[in-house]
Amino acid sequence: MFEAKKWSVVYLFQLQYLKFERIGSKVTFLACRIHKESHEIVGHKLEQLDLSMLCQGEILIQVHYSGVNYKDALAATGKGAILKRFPLNGGIDLAGIVESSSDKRFNIGDKVLVNGCGLGEIHDGGLSQYARVPAEWVIPLPKGLSLKQSMILGTAGFTAALAIHRMLINDQTPDKGPIAVTGATGGVGSNAISILTGLGFETIAISGRSEHYSFVESLGATKVCSAESLNLSSKPLDKALYGGVIDNVGGQLFSKLVAHTQLWGNVASIGLADTHKYSSTVFPFILRGVSILGISSTNCPMPLRRKIWERLGGDLKPKELTNILTEEIKLKDVSSIFNDLLNRKKHGRIVVNCLD
């Protein structure tokens, strides 16, 4: 049995040689590769990969930029059951240039991006200087975005935009009142605040990290505060204070915000930074017409995924996109970021320069 053998999961972050090189006819490149072994140790070492070691797909991409998400940190440290196969290159985001293509929709030199779709979970991801992916996952770089800007957004910005898109088509309007955004200093929260500000919404940014309040204010938040300072009621239904909610936390805070949501408001459930649990009553739904919108960026249908990315280059492009970027690192340094992310020592978005 598994327990009797006393196996445990080991994750080795293997960073291959920094620059592209050719050894004979093989191209070697840098990648953050995650291994699972039956020893109770965690280590780091340099490793060279070549193109034959990548997962299969019709499109080979030279990755210029990626990003580091909370999910990437969970996968790389083994603190979350994210990866479904090993070894695998981490990273759920990438943006780069098509190196080769067997699909007529894409040509060599095209600027493209990929996010979600199993990237960095069941398929080699974007924390690598090369990636080979199925053609149906690839999205042409939207007008209005550079490769770097698309990764300042990444899955975090895409998720925020997906939530706001769903709220808008469900008749969310500024006159219903401010949108409460929990986890406001994170990648999703900061993107959400900036997008909403550009659309004319007031926002109440909720965070327990007071040292970053000035950062959130720079994104256009109407008010930045802790959850405790709001003095939210524990009643199943109370005074309507918010037009809607974008929640990254879950648990009691989410339940209380739902109880304070305005008539016909929308609450988007995105994350579980506190807990996966949700406890409330049906009163907000049957007495105020409040809607809960589930936001799943990984499983977003491709037609909608393309539409959201097009909007991110247009009307949903964050007003303060540059301010959302708080750090740019080199690929060789990415493994030093994971624990800091998990320990909430980072805020905003971290972009990875895969060429430098």
User: pLDDT tens for residues 202-212?
Assistant: 999 999 999 99
Q: Which residue has the higher pLDDT, 41 or 331?
A: 331
Q: Which whole-number Å values give the CA distances from 86 to 58, 122, 224, 233, 253, in the listed order?
A: 21, 9, 42, 47, 37
Both 125 and 44 in one domain: the answer is: yes
Quote the CA–CA distance of 240 and 155 in Å, as a whole number: 31
Q: pLDDT tens digits for 140-199?
A: 999 999 999 999 999 999 999 999 999 999 999 999 999 999 999 999 999 999 999 999
Sign of the Cα torsion 215, 216, 221, 222 reads: negative
Position 71 in a domain: yes
Identify whether the C-beta of residue 180 lies closer than 8 Å to the C-beta of residue 204: yes
- The amino acid at 239: K
| 287 and 157 in a common domain | yes
Residue-wise pLDDT tens digits, 111-149 = 999 999 999 999 999 999 999 999 999 999 999 999 999
Phi and psi at residue 95, in whole multiples of 5°? Answer: -145, 135
- Which among 81, 71, 94 has a CA at the least distance from the CA of 11? 81
Amino acid 25: pLDDT = 53
Residue 76 included in any domain: yes
Distance CA 48, CA 50 (A): 7
Q: Could you tell me the CATH number of the domain that includes residue 201?
A: 3.40.50.720
Once rounded to an integer, what is the mean pLDDT over residues 30-46?
A: 64
Least confident of 28-42, 78-92, 137-151, 208-222: 28-42
Of the residues 294, 313, 334, which one is the last residue of a structural domain?
294
Has residue 4 been placed in a domain? Answer: no
For the ranges 20-24, 60-64, 281-285, the lowest mean pLDDT is seen at 20-24
Residue 80 burial (CB count, 10 A): 14
Tokens of 100: 């080769």
* 176 lies in the same domain as 275: yes
Look up the domain containing 250 and give its range. 153-294
Confidence grade of residue 35 (pLDDT, cut at 50, 70, 90): confident
Count up the domains in the chain and report the number: 2
Is 22 in the same domain as 88? yes
Backbone dihedral angles phi then psi of residue 226, each to the nearest 5 degrees: -85, 160
User: What letter represents residue 97's amino acid?
Assistant: I
Q: How far apart are CA 8 and CA 39, in angstroms?
A: 6
Q: Are residues 111 and 211 in the same domain?
A: no
For residue 218 the two structure tokens come to: 């720079």
Residue 145 pLDDT: 98
**pTM above the 0.85 mark?**
yes
Q: Give a yes or no: residue 304 inside a domain.
A: no
Q: Is residue 159 part of a domain?
A: yes
> How many of the other CB atoms lie within 10 Å of CB of 240?
17
